[in-house]
Chains A and B, each alone.
Chain A
């Protein structure tokens, strides 16, 4: 860990997300990032990584996922890079947040939380790797 950038590598197992959370919290403390932003970034990472880990790999093998955090002026950039199958979580239609109880969807809520809490979310494919870039401008 040096300066304002940090790289965390995770295995594709759900418990790894907790380790990432702890690293993000530590980074947030060092960089004096407001608690609310740390919460929202951790939630966004949790939602996206849960999907990647749960649905992204069909081979039962161990894979690595790279998460990079960087702070430039007042913009925090979070990048998730993986070699899971090509998947753009932004393709999903937004959930109906006003449906009556019986018809309320659960699917799509995770991505909705990511889009709501982050200022921008971009997906691209890069030589067979998925790249998600999240940005949040700090006040």
Chain B
């Protein structure tokens, strides 16, 4: 699974592509943990290239949410397709994150 990265001042934008499932979640987790261990505190995960997530993938987001909260940072999500959004909704995970429809709206909301 490919994850593109972009930085806008102190905001790190990660855009995973494809699927986050039992075969890719470990690699994705290591990527995210790597950044958190490096002290990144403002993370946006852009889901526009992601068409599938299973509970293995949700696990990574739960870990990241806990770590970011402990670091008093920000983790926001955007651009989920309807199927992925529903997975977050029915598992109660949508209550754990601010989820925006588009990257533009996220950036506007987060401010400079």
Q: Mark A residues whose CB is within 8 Å of B.
A: 14-15, 17-18, 35-36, 39-40, 42-43, 46-47, 50, 97-98, 101-102, 104, 106, 109-110, 112-113, 116-117
Contact = CB atoms under 8 A, between A and B. Distances in A.
10 contacts: A35-B83, A39-B52, A39-B83, A42-B52, A43-B52, A43-B54, A104-B62, A106-B62, A113-B54, A116-B90
A-side binding surface: helix, strand, loop or mixed? helix
B87 interface: yes
A109 B58 contact: yes
Contacts, number: 56
B112 interface: no
Interface of B: 21-23, 52, 54-56, 58-59, 62, 65-66, 69, 82-83, 87, 90-92, 95-96
Nearest to A106: B59
Given A17-B22, A36-B83, A106-B59, A98 B95 contact: yes
B96 A104 contact: yes
B23 A47 contact: no
Given A15-B23, A46-B21, A113-B90, A101 B55 contact: no
A135 to B, nearest CB: 18
A92 B62 CA distance: 21
Contacts of B55: 47, 106, 109-110, 113
